[in-house]
Amino acid sequence: MKRYTVTAALPYANGPLHIGHLAGAYLSSDIYVRYLRLMGRDVAYICGSDEHGAAITIRAKKEGTTPQEIVDKYNAQIKDTFEKLGVSFDIYHRTSAPIHHETSQEFFRILLKNGEFEKKTTEQYYDASANQFLADRYIKGTCPKCSHDAAYGDQCENCGSALSPTELINPVSSITGEKPVLRETSHWYLSLDKHADWLAEWIDTGKLNGEQHHDPKEWKNHVLGQCRSWVGDLQPRAMTRDLNWGIDVPPEVEGSEGKKLYVWLDAPIGYISATKQWAADKGKDWRPYWQDKDTKLLHFIGKDNIVFHCIIFPAILKATGDYILPENVPANQFMNLEGDKISTSRNWAVWAHEYVEDCAESVENHIDVLRYVLIKNMPEQKDSEFTWGNFQELNNTDLVGKYANFINRVLVLTNKYYDGAVPEFDASISVAGSQEEGTTSTYAAELKILHEKLVELTNFIEAYEFRAALKALIEISTLGNQFLQFNAPWKQIKTDENAVKVVMNLALQIVAVLSVASQPFLPFTSKKIRELLNLNDLQNGDLQNILATLEKGEALLSAGYTINKPTHLYTRIPDEVIEAQIDKLKNSRPQSIEYAPVKDETTFDDFTKIDLRTGTITAAEKVPKAKKLLKLTVDLGFESRTVVSGIAEFYEAENVLGQQVVLVANLAPRKLRGVMSEGMILMAENEKGELVFVSPAEGFGNGFVVK
């Protein structure tokens, strides 16, 4: 392989990063890329902000500002956070950049020219005063079937009929309240179905155009599973939208006015435009990084993005021609936090930018500690869990106890016995072996073992097994600790000074290896160890160099070389720091609960049209083939009703018997999953979407009016 193009998922520029993001796509890619560079490989590490789409417009409206200000704010914040965390992108770009707009439009032009699009014209309602097309659910009107006057453009709530907006009588825009006009709108659909066959073969066998492109066994199980479940049923997908915040469809294309590119013809192409910008900045040619078959393309993402990176984007790349396809998409699953899902709206998260500030004082070497804990718990094969208790434990045992302690004891002894100089030694003197207590070994044999351990670590990285690689790193320090323990130089120094020189020289070589091997995982620590050893900062290719040196049986630090005095790389984290973080998390309420806005004013007369009655549930059963629905029988005193209610996630059928409820008694009946529902039970819903019955006082009686 001549070169690598490594991408990390583009963060959406409408909020800050949390630990789940880091554990998902960014630390894994950063480890991999740092490793590639240390191996002297040619690599472009690409990322940037995804800055288009409706969510950003909506957020801008909510905050009373412009989309541009939103994306400027979060782009700057995210970029800053990545830098502080040591995520070593070659470029962190943004999709609002002109070069990206041009690149995306160019893709559109080529796809159009290649006949990959199918243009479909439909009539859609257009709100002239809001100056935009209206999505179906933003249109209200009178239902042609039951004359209900508040039917939505896709469905009538009253009779349950599926509608199309053009069927509505007297349609009204829910944005402005004005009458929308019908306008023809055309969109370009990518014919994904035409690509189904080669995609299926490519996913299943790794073959592309009859040649072996990659080994599917190297892909993760859950990634392959997802892909296979999608590739069987591919439909044409619209690649344009009627939006006002995004990339214009090329203006010379007929009917392009007001059309924007769909996010999947925008965001992933951001990888390419970012590469172009990076290449231009460096005076390089971008093309080989995306078009040369000797380039290995890798997408690091979270599991929510699998389908797009494994199906849709490859289809786009191949349909455009000239482009290479990803050789692997090592997607991670999700990281939970303290037993619960990470949630932005519930503010249940450890925010990266807050950690960077908060723990700078309380946790020594805090960035690398976080990196260590997140990598150690990376959700590689299944969802994983971050807890502050585990954070403390890993810091105190692995980093302080094993890793930093080993380095510290070597440096202390070297300074004590040899005034900081790497000792000369006699290679023929045998020492205790590091592998098992009571064995004897030689300097050369131990150096060989060290080399093997290092190779093992690199193999894990090559296989995208970063947790295992990190474990291998700690095992190198354990190897060192065992070696010291078995040889006990602090005793030996009194009896056999020459043997101690062999031991200490080798121990120093282990520290030197750690200074390099740590770099992909713990870059700040690596730099500090280099300083302690009085070595230069690492250069590209250094890992490859030390592997070659060790393989030849040569030392990394030569005798007589002088190192510095030790300092503590990590320190124990006391309980108070952890308790403070847990308190912070548990006391953090959502910054703003998203209360539903109060609806438009209504009249007393309108309100009295609704007939609310007290009732009691007398029978309940689950509706088959539905997760949320219970079929209930409600006693209204004068009659009994069958009601289907979406409460099965919160109430078991047997537990609602006898439950007193308030029922909307004059609601038009509607079929739900094949069962006719004759009314609606009133429920209160909180910000988490949890439902609870709204009930009269116990024993009040059935059939009475609620007003």
Write out the binding residues for RNA, residues 601-640 only, by CB under 7 A.
624-629
Amino acid at 518: S
Q: For RNA, which is the closer residue by CB, 289 or 391?
A: 391
SS (H, E, C) 603-669: CHHHHHCCCEEEEEEEEEEECCCCCCCEEEEEECCCCEEEEEECCCCCCCHHHCCCCEEEEECCCCC
> Distance between CA atoms of 225 and 505, rounded to whole angstroms?
50
Instruction: Enumerate residues 6+ apart whose C-beta is below 8 A from 532.
Output: 407, 411, 563, 564, 566, 567
21-29, 81-89, 128-136, 155-163 -> range binding RNA (CB under 7 A): 155-163
Give the contacts of 34 (CB within 8 A, at least 6 positions apart): 88, 519, 520, 523
Nearer to RNA (CB atom), residue 232 or residue 251: 232
Residues in 485-504 that interact with RNA by CB under 7 A: 485-486, 488, 490-491
316 Cβ contact partners less than 8 Å away, ≥ 6 residues apart: 107, 111, 190, 264, 265, 268, 269
List all residues 6 or more positions away from 666 whose beta carbon is below 8 Å from its beta carbon.
609, 610, 611
Q: What angle do CA 425, 428, 432 make, to 5 degrees?
A: 85
Region of 284-292, 315-323, 482-490, 509-517 interacting with RNA (CB under 7 A): 482-490
CB of 156 to RNA, least distance (A): 8
The β-bridge partners of 621 are 631
User: Smallest distance, Å, CB 634 to RNA?
Assistant: 12
- Choices 12-20, 239-247, 278-286, 484-492 (CB under 7 A): range interacting with RNA: 484-492
Span interacting with RNA, options 58-66, 172-180, 267-275, 644-652, rule CB under 7 A: 644-652
Q: Which listed residue (401, 420, 590, 696) binds RNA by CB under 7 A? A: 401
Token pair in block for residue 239: 């690649």
**x-or-dash string of contact with RNA, 156-195, rule CB under 7 A:** -x--x-----------------------------------
What tokens appear for 303 in the block? Answer: 């599991």
Q: Shortest approach of RNA to residue 623 CB, angstroms?
A: 7
CB of 486 to RNA, least distance (A): 7
Query: Which residue, 50 or 364, has its beta carbon nearer to RNA?
Result: 364
Instruction: Looking at residues 564 to 583 of the shown chain, list those that interact with RNA (rule: CB under 7 A).
Output: 568-572
Count of residues that bind RNA according to CB under 7 A: 75
For RNA, the binding residue among 69, 80, 149, 383 (CB under 7 A) is 383
Residue 89 vs 651, nearer CB to RNA: 651
Q: Is residue 647 close enough to count as binding RNA by CB under 7 A?
A: yes
Report the nearest approach of RNA to the CB of residue 179 (Å): 23
- Give CA separation, 304 vs 25, 223, 241, 334, in Å: 11, 10, 22, 9
| Cβ(477)–Cβ(466) below 8 Å | no
Residue number, 175 or 664, with CB nearest to RNA:
664
Instruction: Compute the distance between CA of residue 16 and CA of residue 151 in angstroms, rounded to an integer.
Output: 38
Rounded least distance, CB 157 to RNA, Å: 4
Kindly identify the residues of this chain, within the stretch 508-537, that bind RNA according to CB under 7 A: none
Among 481, 487, 509, 616, binds RNA (CB under 7 A): 481
Residue from 468, 619, 636, 706 binding RNA (CB under 7 A): 468
The CB-of-162 to RNA minimum distance in angstroms stands at 9
- Cβ closer to RNA: 80 or 383? 383
Q: Rounded to whole angstroms, how far apart are CA atoms 33 and 141?
A: 56
- Least distance between RNA and beta carbon 210 (Å): 25
Measured CA to CA, the distance from residue 433 to residue 618 in angstroms comes to 77
Instruction: Find the binder of RNA among 49, 104, 384, 487 (CB under 7 A).
Output: 384
Amino acid in position 384: S
| Residue 334 φ/ψ region, left for φ over 0, alpha for ψ in the -120 to 50 degree band, beta for the rest | beta
- Shortest distance, position 321 Cβ to RNA, whole Å: 30
Residue 267 vs 665, nearer CB to RNA: 665
Near RNA by CB under 7 A, which window of 98-106, 168-176, 324-332, 402-410? 402-410
| Nearer to RNA among residue 113 and residue 341 (C-beta) | 341
Token couple for 83: 């830098």
52 Cβ contact list (under 8 Å, min separation 6):
95, 96, 245, 246, 247, 260, 263, 266, 267
CA neighbor of 139 nearest in space, from 110, 91, 177? 177
Binding-site member from 397, 440, 459, 558 for RNA (CB under 7 A): 397
Three-class secondary structure assignment of 31-86: HHHHHHHHCCCEEEEEEEEECCCHHHHHHHHHCCCCHHHHHHHHHHHHHHHHHHCC
Q: Smaller CB distance to RNA: residue 249 or 665?
A: 665
Query: Should residue 599 be labelled a site residue for RNA when binding is judged by CB under 7 A?
Result: no
Nearest approach in angstroms of CB 332 to RNA is 11
> What phi, psi does 337 have (nearest 5°)?
-135, 120
Buried b (16+ CB within 10 A) or exposed e, 344-372: eeeebbbbbbebbebbeeebbbbbbbbbb
Nearer to RNA, 428 or 608 (CB): 608
First-to-final CA distance of the chain: 75
Q: Is 399 strand, coil or helix?
A: helix
Tell me the closest approach of the beta carbon of residue 28 to RNA, in angstroms. 14
Among 102, 248, 393, 531, indicate the residue that binds RNA (CB under 7 A).
393
Region binding RNA by CB under 7 A among candidate stretches 479-487, 601-609, 634-642, 698-706 = 479-487
Q: Which of 360, 407, 368 is nearest to 391 (CA)?
A: 368
| 3-class SS of residue 184 | strand
Nearer to RNA, 520 or 679 (CB): 679
**137 touching RNA, by CB under 7 A:** no
Count how many Cα atoms sit within 13 Å of the Cα of residue 451 in the half-sphere of its side chain: 19
* Closer residue to RNA, CB minimum distance, 314 or 489: 489
**Dist. CA 593–CA 453, nearest whole Å:** 52
Among 293, 341, 586, 688, binds RNA (CB under 7 A): 341
Looking only at residues 292 through 311 of this chain, which bind RNA when binding is defined by CB under 7 A? 303-304
* 664 contributes a contact to RNA by CB under 7 A: yes
Does 381 bind RNA (CB under 7 A)? Our answer is yes
Nearer to RNA, 280 or 488 (CB): 488
Strand 384-386 versus strand 335-337 pairing type: parallel
- Least CB distance from residue 549 to RNA, whole Å? 26
Binding to RNA, residues 673-692 (CB under 7 A): 673, 677, 679-680
Kindly tell me which of 71 and 342 has the beta carbon lying closer to RNA: 342
| Interacting residues of 564 by C-beta distance below 8 A, sequence separation 6+ | 411, 420, 531, 532, 533, 534
Q: Which of residues 431-450 bind RNA (CB under 7 A)?
A: 437
Task: Name which of 619 and 672 has its Cβ closer to RNA.
Answer: 672
- What residues between 223 and 262 interact with RNA by CB under 7 A? 224-226, 228-229
What residues from 37 to 96 belong to the interface with RNA (CB under 7 A)? Answer: none
- In whole angstroms, the minimum distance from the beta carbon of 485 to RNA comes to 4
Minimum separation from the CB atom of position 410 to RNA (A)? 8
